[in-house]
A and B are shown apart, each in its own frame.
Chain A
Amino acid sequence: MSNKELYSPEGLRLDGRRWNELKSFTCKVNTHQTSSDGSSYVQQGNTKVMCKVNGPLEPKSKANSNNNNASITVNLNIASFSPVERRKRPKSDRRIKEMMTILEKTFSETVITKLYPRTQIIVDCYVLSQDGGILSAVANSVTLALIDAGIAMYDFVSSINVGLYNNSIPILDLNHLEEGDMSFLTLGIVGKSEKLAMMLLEEKIPFDKLETLLGIGISGAQRIKDLMDEELRKHGKLLISTAAS
């Protein structure tokens, strides 16, 4: 696909969005009440992700036991049917491993792990449908599921990606066609601050553009945070109205 079609002279993208518009974002928490301690579902455009958190619990093996902190294990399952073209990835796929490591590191910093020594927190993520921004959607779903599980955290991690079109125009929240055609960076920020909890850049981006991209990404991620926060409060009110009293 040629570059020109991705962004029209009128300033519209393939799916009709403007450069700084988010994909439609919906999320739910407590979706798997009986099979997990915390769970969530996040949908960003056609990217659909489920997350189940179990823990903190007794580590399954000594290797996951740390005397001072909880150890966080992230399993990422990208369903073979999730991309447009079916593709079965082996468990040892390098990119999946990389994403799991990034997520484990990010959330080990955000969860107050010192409160749960000698325990393990197991995070299972399932990508059901892909349309760009998998890592962001997964990170958002992990945040929600961890909060739903009642695990103490310093703050939300909200994530989004942002690309650079034609080396000049920044574009927020890419879909899979856009991702295939421009270099982009994925970032996760802490709460409503401008602090970065996570950042992944796999291609080249001119240094002088980086700051613009970060700025746009941060404001996008903050909007995601608000949407997640809203959903959590809505769910919380519902729970309180019926639960133990």
Chain B
Amino acid sequence: MEIITISKFNNNKGLNDEDEEMEDVSNNDQIVTPGELITEDTVWMRGHGTFALGNKTYSSVAGTILKVNKLLSVKPLKGRYTPETGDHIIGRVIEVGNRRWKVDIGARSDAVLLLGSVNLPGGILRRKSDTDELTMRNMLKEGDLLNCEVQSLFQDGSASLHTRSLKYGKLKNGIFLSVPRSLIIRSKNHSFVLQGNVSIILGVNGYIWIYKTPTVDNRLKTDSTASTASKLQSGVMGRQSGYQVGSGSVSLTRLEEESSWEIYSDKNDENISDAIRSNIIRYRNAIQALAHSQIGINESRINMAYEASMAYGSLGSLTEPEVMENISNDVLNGEKMRGS
């Protein structure tokens, strides 16, 4: 019976029983530490992770040397998330301010989301008005999670976000998980539809949202019920005065308004089945297992870890350190076999 696993302290977390193999890898990635002289050659431009004294360039962090064209930088092994324009991330609102929200994105400083950078309820193309300022808390409030993109960076490196796309916005129908951001492997796409009716957003900043795949049917259904309601209303008017160009547009704006408030709703879908809920948890534990072993996380590894987790019985057993390590090993071995 699974009740508790009590293990002795394991000094070296992760998969380090492959010392010999490690040697091979380390040749390509030479590690420098702070204060270490990298080069006296002046042709290099000095990037992040370096500093200069005279002609000499030193490392300021522990990491690996990165040379791109004439730019020399040191990529730290670890560190807080540094936002870059275009990053697909997840953030949590921590403050509602004057025409802006302050958002925690796990970076050095909080990001801002300007009122002008969100889809306003009542139509994407509508101009923002004074009432929007007063109803900001109805859209997003403290604690809310956002799926968003880094729009631009301020001088001090802090980020300005936007959610002006249908794929961005407030998150619901799922659970949140945070992993060290260095484990997230950057790719073109950071939001995936997985098997088992589960979708995932793998924020570049290490924040992850696992949720029920929104069904297109479902959306249409809610929309159509809303529109039948408004049709009924407009229908009464329509019968009185016959067809008018304006009547349709009234219901359209109304419909738009309803559906766009819908994107800021806190209400989860009512019909999330136990099967989906279990799948969500299985994905969560699969990702935890990868993070536990400090393995980089991407879509294919999540899928492989999910598959691998099936062999280890109940969901609860996936929290055991030994099982997590086994899953990670399975994933790495699977990759080797496929030769990727």
Direct contact between A and B in the complex (CB less than 8 angstroms)?
Answer: yes
Q: Which residues of A contact B (CB under 8 A)?
A: 28, 30, 33, 37-38, 55-58, 112, 116-119, 147-156, 190-192, 229, 232-233, 235-245
- B102: shortest Cβ distance to chain A, in Å? 8
Pick the contact of B76: A58, A118, A150 (CB < 8 A).
A150
Taking a contact as CB atoms under 8 Å apart, the answer to whether A154 and B16 are in contact is no
Pick the contact of B156: A37, A117, A155, A243 (CB < 8 A).
A117
Taking a contact as CB atoms under 8 Å apart, the answer to whether A191 and B61 are in contact is no
Pick the contact of A156: B33, B184, B296 (CB < 8 A).
B33
Q: Which residues from 272 to 314 on chain B have a C-beta closer than 8 Å to any C-beta of chain A? A: 293-297
**Is B320's beta carbon under 8 Å from chain A?**
no
With A151-B61, A240-B64 given, can you name 18 additional A-B contacts, CB distance below 8 Å? A56-B109, A148-B62, A151-B79, A153-B34, A154-B51, A155-B35, A190-B35, A191-B34, A238-B12, A240-B25, A240-B77, A241-B21, A242-B295, A243-B182, A243-B295, A243-B296, A244-B296, A244-B297
CA distance A38 to B80 in the complex (A): 10
- A62: shortest Cβ distance to chain B, in Å? 14
Taking a contact as CB atoms under 8 Å apart, the answer to whether B60 and A153 are in contact is yes
Give B297's nearest chain A residue, CB to CB: A244
State the interface size on chain B (CB cutoff 8 A).
43
Closest 7 pairs (CB-CB, A-B): A150-B79, A155-B35, A244-B296, A150-B76, A152-B60, A236-B31, A191-B35
Taking a contact as CB atoms under 8 Å apart, the answer to whether A241 and B22 are in contact is yes
Pick the contact of A118: B16, B79, B109, B184 (CB < 8 A).
B109
Chain B residues in 8 Å Cβ range of A116: 108
Pick the contact of A229: B33, B64, B180, B183 (CB < 8 A).
B33
Taking a contact as CB atoms under 8 Å apart, the answer to whether B80 and A147 are in contact is no
Taking a contact as CB atoms under 8 Å apart, the answer to whether B108 and A56 are in contact is yes
Interface-central residue, A37, A149, A242, A243, by most chain B CB under 10 Å: A242
Taking a contact as CB atoms under 8 Å apart, the answer to whether B183 and A243 are in contact is yes
User: Given A57-B108, A147-B34, A191-B35, are A244 and B80 also a contact pair (CB < 8 Å)?
Assistant: no
Interface-central residue, B14, B80, B184, by most chain A CB under 10 Å: B80
Taking a contact as CB atoms under 8 Å apart, the answer to whether B109 and A58 are in contact is yes
Give B332's nearest chain A residue, CB to CB: A242
Taking a contact as CB atoms under 8 Å apart, the answer to whether A244 and B61 are in contact is no
Give A144's nearest chain B residue, CB to CB: B62
Chain B residues in 8 Å Cβ range of A56: 80, 108-109
- A213: shortest Cβ distance to chain B, in Å? 24
Chain B residues in 8 Å Cβ range of A38: 78
User: Given A149-B78, A150-B80, A154-B60, are A240 and B31 also a contact pair (CB < 8 Å)?
Assistant: yes
Give B21's nearest chain A residue, CB to CB: A241
- A127: shortest Cβ distance to chain B, in Å? 20
Interface-central residue, B16, B18, B108, by most chain A CB under 10 Å: B108
Pick the contact of A240: B13, B26, B51 (CB < 8 A).
B26
**Is B15's beta carbon under 8 Å from chain A?**
yes
User: Given A243-B294, A244-B184, are A150 and B51 also a contact pair (CB < 8 Å)?
Assistant: no
Taking a contact as CB atoms under 8 Å apart, the answer to whether B183 and A154 are in contact is no
Pick the contact of B29: A151, A156, A240 (CB < 8 A).
A240
Is chain B's binding surface mostly helix, strand, loop or mixed?
loop
Chain A residues in 8 Å Cβ range of B58: 154
Give B82's nearest chain A residue, CB to CB: A150
Interface-central residue, B12, B76, B183, by most chain A CB under 10 Å: B76
- A120: shortest Cβ distance to chain B, in Å? 10
- B14: shortest Cβ distance to chain A, in Å? 6
Chain A residues in 8 Å Cβ range of B33: 147, 156, 229, 232-233
Taking a contact as CB atoms under 8 Å apart, the answer to whether A30 and B78 are in contact is yes
Taking a contact as CB atoms under 8 Å apart, the answer to whether B25 and A237 are in contact is yes
CA distance A242 to B29 in the complex (A): 12
Give A244's nearest chain B residue, CB to CB: B296
User: Given A118-B109, A147-B34, A243-B296, are A37 and B79 also a contact pair (CB < 8 Å)?
Assistant: yes
Taking a contact as CB atoms under 8 Å apart, the answer to whether A236 and B62 are in contact is yes
Taking a contact as CB atoms under 8 Å apart, the answer to whether A119 and B64 are in contact is no
Chain B residues in 8 Å Cβ range of A57: 80, 108-109
Chain B residues in 8 Å Cβ range of A236: 31, 62-64, 77
Chain B residues in 8 Å Cβ range of A154: 34-35, 51, 58, 60
CA distance A55 to B180 in the complex (A): 14
Quick one: CB contact mask for B21-62 with A, threshold 8 Å, 1 for yes? 110011001010111000000000000010100000010111
Q: Which residues from 259 to 281 on chain B have a C-beta closer than 8 Å to any C-beta of chain A? A: none
Quick one: CB contact mask for B3-14 with A, threshold 8 Å, 1 for yes? 000000001111
Give A112's nearest chain B residue, CB to CB: B60
Taking a contact as CB atoms under 8 Å apart, the answer to whether B51 and A112 are in contact is yes
Taking a contact as CB atoms under 8 Å apart, the answer to whether B109 and A232 are in contact is no
Chain A residues in 8 Å Cβ range of B295: 242-243
- B107: shortest Cβ distance to chain A, in Å? 8
Chain A residues in 8 Å Cβ range of B76: 150
Give A67's nearest chain B residue, CB to CB: B156
- A57: shortest Cβ distance to chain B, in Å? 6
**Is B185's beta carbon under 8 Å from chain A?**
yes
Pick the contact of B108: A55, A147, A238 (CB < 8 A).
A55
Chain A residues in 8 Å Cβ range of B15: 242
CA distance A245 to B332 in the complex (A): 12
Give B23's nearest chain A residue, CB to CB: A237
